[in-house]
Amino acid sequence: MPDRSALVAILLGERPLCADCIAEKSGVDRSEVEPLLTRIGVTVALSRVVGTCPACNRIERVYAAFGPK
C-alpha cells in the first residue's frame, strides 16, 4: 500500500475532489484528510476553492494538486 499522502496526491492530480470524496476514494479516514493535505501542501501546490466536486456534484471546498512548488 503506498503512503497515504502519496495516494491522495495522485488522486488530486487526476481531478479536483472534496474531502469526503478524497476519503472515500483513498480509503483514508475523513479525519485524516486535512492533515494529509497540509503534509502534501509542503511539496505540491494545492488549490483549495469552493466549487462543485466533479465526483459527487456537491458544492464543497474542493482540492486539486498542480505539481511541485
pLDDT of residue 4: 86
pLDDT of residue 2: 57
Instruction: Name the domain count of the chain.
Output: 1
DSSP 20-65: HHHHHHH---HHHHHHHHHHHTTTEEEEEEEEE-TTT--EEEEEEE
CB 11 within 8 A of CB 25: yes
Classify 27 in phi/psi space as left (phi over 0), alpha (psi -120 to 50) or beta.
left
pLDDT of residue 22: 96
Whichever domain contains 40, its CATH number is: 1.10.10
> Domain range for residue 45?
4-68
pLDDT tens digits, one per residue of 46-63? 999 999 999 999 999 999
pLDDT tens digits, one per residue of 3-50? 888 889 889 988 999 999 999 999 999 999 999 999 998 888 899 999
Q: Is the pLDDT of residue 1 over 60?
A: no
Instruction: Count the neighbouring beta carbons within 10 Å of the beta carbon of residue 10.
Output: 12
Q: Does the predicted model carry a pTM greater than 0.75?
A: yes
